[in-house]
């Protein structure tokens, strides 16, 4: 199914005698770009976490944040590492003075700093099974992320189909207007030649050749036909996306459609045709903005 590159997922569970909460967010990006923020006690499994993310996500900038809370038998929180706490206070006070920041430092700010609680950096305390447990939570969070991305992708497909419908209506109007414009230009050319020759004999064969060349320069049927073929390919990609994603394919088709729109506008220098070409280009821009967010 089509997926958006924007989404959010979360999961939590028991890991090595503590509880881990994982949040995963993603936004659009040309490639898979992970950003992983693990507490020190879980850092040695960062590679496994990255692999779990990559198995679920092929494109997008994905940020994963994990929080670890250690369980205690008596229900009392882990003791504070006062030396580390004092070091953070000293460092932050120095930054406040150096950069003339507001004096708003409080205990809560310090307690949110990494490894303030005693034992937070003791990696050797984590059992071997903590790695698979962490990966399982990450997979659940990524699964929730994919559900949101899929739901958003379905909404985007509906929106893109509506925009394509508006483009097709404009193409139909251009196709109806184009023959009349050729006829008008042919008659205008005949009238201009008669006025310029002031009643003199005109080489009808040569005039017919010029009219044929004019009609060829104004003919946009080939551009309209290619444009419709690109729309059909665009819709086919939306209905049957490839396993590696659809965004790049749709981006290429949009470039081709824009090329045909520009050629149609330059060949059909007519008020009604130009107005529809501008409408088409506006719709293509709306589509491009959304395609950049598709996986």
Task: Give the residues of the chain that fall short of pLDDT 70.
Answer: 71-78, 117-125, 180, 182-218, 243-244, 268-269
Q: Write down the pLDDT at residue 122.
A: 44
Q: Write down the pLDDT at residue 168.
A: 96
pLDDT tens digits, residue range 138-164?
999 999 999 999 999 999 999 999 999
Q: Supply angle C-alpha 96, 99, 103, rounded to 5.
A: 30
| Three-state SS at 22 | strand
Pairwise CA distance, residues 22 & 110, whole Å? 22
Start-to-end CA distance of the chain, whole Å, equals 10
Q: Is the pTM of this model over 0.75?
A: no
210: left (phi over 0), alpha (psi -120 to 50) or beta: alpha
- CB-based contact 59:248 (threshold 8 Å): no
Q: Write down the pLDDT at residue 223.
A: 86
Q: Which two tokens stand for residue 99?
A: 């950069």
Pairwise CA distance, residues 20 & 49, whole Å? 13
Q: Write down the pLDDT at residue 77.
A: 53
């Amino acid at each position: 199914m089509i997926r958006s590159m924007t989404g959010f997922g979360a999961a939590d569970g028991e890991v090595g005698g503590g509880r881990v909460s994982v949040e995963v967010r993603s936004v659009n990006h040309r490639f898979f770009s992970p950003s992983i923020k693990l507490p020190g006690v879980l850092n040695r499994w960062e590679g496994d976490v990255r692999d779990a993310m990559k198995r679920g996500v092929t494109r997008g900038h994905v940020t994963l944040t994990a929080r670890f809370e250690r369980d205690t038998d008596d229900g009392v929180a882990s003791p504070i590492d006062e030396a580390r706490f004092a070091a953070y206070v000293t460092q932050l006070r120095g930054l406040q003075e150096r950069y003339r920041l507001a004096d708003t430092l409080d205990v809560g700010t310090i307690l949110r700093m990494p490894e303030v609680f005693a034992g937070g950096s003791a990696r050797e305390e984590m059992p071997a099974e903590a790695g698979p447990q962490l990966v399982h939570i990450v997979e659940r969070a990524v699964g929730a992320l994919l559900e949101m991305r899929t739901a958003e992708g379905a909404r985007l497909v509906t929106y893109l189909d509506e925009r394509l419908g508006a483009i097709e209506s404009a193409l139909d109007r251009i196709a109806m207007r184009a023959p009349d414009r050729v006829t008008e230009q042919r008659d205008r050319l005949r009238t201009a030649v008669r006025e310029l020759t002031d009643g003199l004999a005109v080489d009808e064969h040569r005039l017919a050749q010029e009219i044929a060349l004019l009609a060829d320069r104004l003919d946009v049927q080939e551009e309209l036909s290619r444009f419709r073929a690109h729309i059909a390919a665009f819709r086919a990609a939306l209905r049957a996306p490839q396993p590696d994603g659809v965004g790049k394919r749709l981006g290429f088709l949009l470039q081709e459609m824009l090329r045909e729109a520009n050629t149609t506008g330059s060949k059909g220098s007519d008020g009604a045709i130009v107005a529809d070409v501008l409408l088409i280009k506006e719709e293509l821009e709306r589509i491009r903005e959304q395609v950049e967010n598709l996986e």
